[in-house]
Structure 1
Amino acid sequence: MRVLFAGTPAVAVPSLDALVKAGFDVVAVLTRPDAPLGRKRVLTPSPVAARAAELGIGVIHATRVDDAVTAQIAAAKPDVAAIVAYGGLIPRAALEVPPHGWINLHFSLLPAWRGAAPVQRAVIAGDDVTGAVTFLLEEGLDTGPVFGTLTESVGPNDTSGALLERLSRSGAVLLSQTLSAVEAGKAAPRPQEGEVSLAPKLTIDDGRLDWMQPALAISRRARGVTPEPGAWTTLAGQRVKLEPVQLRPDRSDLEPGTVRLEEKNVLVGTGSHAVQLTGIQPAGKKMMAAADWARGMASRESVVFE
C-alpha cells in the first residue's frame, strides 16, 4: 500500500520508522519547512524531514496545504495518508486525494483533549490515564471516527515530554497496525463517544506558576509545560525558569511565593503546602541546581517569587 506520511516534530519520527519497517511503500513525506533554530538561527530541517532524507524518501515542504501542495500529494498517488503532528490543517481537497483517506495518530483518548497540546493539557489537568488513538481525519478538529486505541498511565513525576516520548513509540505500533487493517479491509472505525475537552496550543503564559494555587496544581502545571514552553516565575521583575518541583506536604508554614533555603533544600510556599525546587535558570544564565542558586541569594533578607 502506497502511503503519504505527514509529520514534523521528533515525536512523529517513530511512526515514520514503524511504517517503513512494516513494509509500507512510503511514497512521500509532507512536513513543515526548515525553521531557524538556536541562537544563530540556523535554518534546520524538521526531525521528520531529516529522517526522510536518511531513508531516501522525497519530501514536500509546506506551511499550509494549498492547491499546489495538494497537486504534489496527488502526484505521489498515495492509497492512504498517515499523519502525526504535522502542524497544519488538511483541507477537503487534500483529504479526498487518497482512496482510504487520512489516518491520524493523536495522543489522547478522543474525544478528550482535541487539539494541538493533548499530552500537556492532560498532565496539567491531573489525568491519571491518557493514551493515543488512530482516527479518520475530517475537516472538524479531531472529530473523526476512531480505528484503534491504547492507554498509558500518567505517573506522579511524568513531564509531558517523558509521557509524549512513550506515547510516540507505542502509538507508532498502533498506527502501523491500523494501516495494516485498512489494507486488509478489516478496519472498522467507530464514532467518538464521551465528553469533549479541548487542548489548545500552549503559550508562554501557560508556563507561569501562580504561587497562590495549591501545591499539587503548581506541580502538575510545571510538569505539563516541561520541556516546552517551560515553567517560570518572576523575581524582582525578571523572569526565571524552573524545572518541575517536588511536593513537600510536611511544610505548610511558608507564605505563597516565599523562598527559603534549608540545608540543601529550596522550599517555596504555595496556596497549600510547600514545594521544593529542583532546578532554576535566572535571566541570562544557564539552568543550575536550586541549592546552588539559593546559596548565591543567601545575603538577601527575603526572596519572594511574584
Structure 2
Amino acid sequence: MFPNTKKHFFHSIHTMRIVFFGTPDFAVASLEALIQANFNVVAVVTAPDKPAGRGMQLQSSAVKQFAETQGLPILQPLKLKDPAFVEELKLFKPDLQVIVAFRMLPEVVWNLPPLGTFNLHGSLLPNYRGAAPIHWAVINGETETGVTTFFLQHEIDTGDLLFQEKEAISPSDTTGDVYERLMRKGAKLVVKTAQAIQANDIHPKPQDESSPLKAAPKLHRETGQVHWSKSGQEIVNLVRGMNPFPSAHTQFQGKNCKVLQVEFHPEIIPDLGVGIWDTDQKTYLRVGCADGYINILEWQMEGKKKMKIDEFLRGYSFTF
C-alpha cells in the first residue's frame, strides 16, 4: 500500500491523526468506537445546522451533538471545495480520514491525508452503490447484505475494497432493523480498518464489476408508492424496505396513508380484484394484489397517529 518509504518512516514515529466525516446517528457509532479504541481523532466534519421541526429551530447533526460531548473541534462547511475549508482542514494535519454517512467529497479533500481516506458503506460492494443501500437491499428481497470499507476515489463507491462483513436479512426485517445491526457492525469494521492501516497491514483489491450490479439510488416519493398490481411479496418487501422512513404509501378513500406493516395471503378471493379494498369494519382491511391479497396490519392516515388496523377500524366511518 505504501511504496514510499517516507510514509513508512512518518507513520512509525507519529500517532495517527484522524479527521472523521459524518452526519447521522449511523455515523456516531463509528466515531464513538474510534474514540473508545483510543484513536487520535483530531477533528470532526459534519453538515451545517439546519432548521427542523414545527418551530424550524436550527438543529445540529447527531455527529455534531456527540462530538461536542467529546470536546472535539467541529467543522461545518457549506461547500467542501471552499478553499477556506480546505485550508482549515490542512491545519489539523490528518494522516487518515474516515467517512461514514457523509456527502461526496471532492478530490482536494479525500486526497489530502498521506494514509488515504476510507469510507464505510452499508452494503457488500460493488452491489448497492448509492445513497440508500440498506433500503434497496430490503426492497429487493435480499437475504444478505453487509458493510464494506474502501478507499475513496473519483467515482462514488468504486474504490478499492479493504474489509467486508456480512449480515443476514430475515423475512420480517425492516430497513430500521437492518440499519441498527449494520450501524453496530460497521463501527467495529471502521476500527478494524483503522487498526490495519495503522499497522500497515492492508491489502486493497479492486471491486469486481464483471457481473451486472444492483444499484441503490436516492429514494423519492414515487419509490414508496404501493402498486397493488405487483405480487404480494414485492409489496411486503417494499413496505419493509421503506419502514421506518420514509414509509410506503397509498391512497385510501381520497386520503394519503403511510403503510407501515402488512401481510400477504396467496389466496385469490372472488370480487377482490387488484386494488379492490374490502373490510369487515372490525378486524381486517385488505386489498387485492396480483397473486392474492394484502392485509393491512398498521398504517398512518394523513393527519392522524400510527394505528394498528383494529384500532383504526373501530374509529373510522367508511364510505363503501
TM over 0.5: yes
Query: 2 CA distance for matches of 1:246 and 1:54?
Result: 43
Q: 1:120 aligns with which of 110, 135, 156?
A: 135
Q: 1:15 aligns with which of 1, 23, 30?
A: 30
1:146-165 alignment, distance < 5 Å:
146-165=161-180
> What residue in structure 1 maps to residue 275 of structure 2?
257
Greater shift in the superposed pair: 214-223 or 243-252: 243-252
> What residue in structure 2 maps to residue 236 of structure 1?
253
Q: Contact 2:29 / 2:187 at 8 angstroms: preserved in 1?
A: yes
> What residue in structure 2 maps to residue 106 of structure 1?
121
Query: 2 CA distance for matches of 1:241 and 1:188?
Result: 46
> What residue in structure 1 maps to residue 225 of structure 2?
208
Query: 2 CA distance for matches of 1:269 and 1:30?
Result: 49
How far 1:133 sits from its partner (Å)?
Answer: 0.4
5+ residue gaps, structure 2, are: 1-15
Query: 2 CA distance for matches of 1:293 and 1:90?
Result: 46
Greater shift in the superposed pair: 65-74 or 112-121: 65-74
> What residue in structure 2 maps to residue 304 of structure 1?
none
Query: 2 CA distance for matches of 1:251 and 1:152?
Result: 35
Q: 2:288 aligns with which of 266, 269, 282?
A: 269
Does 2:58 match 1:40? no
> What residue in structure 1 maps to residue 4 of structure 2?
none
Greater shift in the superposed pair: 10-19 or 230-239: 230-239
Query: 2 CA distance for matches of 1:278 and 1:134?
Result: 38
Q: Contact 1:245 / 1:276 at 8 angstroms: preserved in 2?
A: yes
> What residue in structure 1 maps to residue 6 of structure 2?
none
Q: Contact 1:108 / 1:133 at 8 angstroms: preserved in 2?
A: yes
Does 2:191 match 1:187? no
5+ residue gaps, structure 1, are: 302-306
Query: 1 CA distance for matches of 2:241 and 2:318?
Result: 33
Query: 1 CA distance for matches of 2:79 and 2:318?
Result: 54
Q: Which amino acid aligns with 1:79?
A: D
Superposed CA RMSD in Å reads: 1.5
Q: Which amino acid aligns with 1:127?
A: E
Q: Contact 1:245 / 1:278 at 8 angstroms: preserved in 2?
A: yes
Pair 1:95–1:3, CA change in 2 (3 A): same
- TM-score, length basis structure 2: 0.90
Q: Contact 2:261 / 2:299 at 8 angstroms: preserved in 1?
A: no
Q: Secondary structure at the match of 1:244?
A: strand
Q: Contact 1:210 / 1:218 at 8 angstroms: preserved in 2?
A: yes
Pair 1:64–1:295, CA change in 2 (3 A): same
- TM-score, length basis structure 1: 0.94
Q: Secondary structure at the match of 1:32?
A: coil
Does 2:77 match 1:77? no
How far 1:251 sits from its partner (Å)?
Answer: 5.6
Larger CA Rg, structure 1 vs 2: 2
Q: Deviations over 1:22-75 (max 9, x none)?
A: 110111111111122222222110001100001111111124312222222211
> What residue in structure 2 maps to residue 222 of structure 1?
239
Greater shift in the superposed pair: 139-148 or 261-270: 261-270
How far 1:148 sits from its partner (Å)?
Answer: 0.2
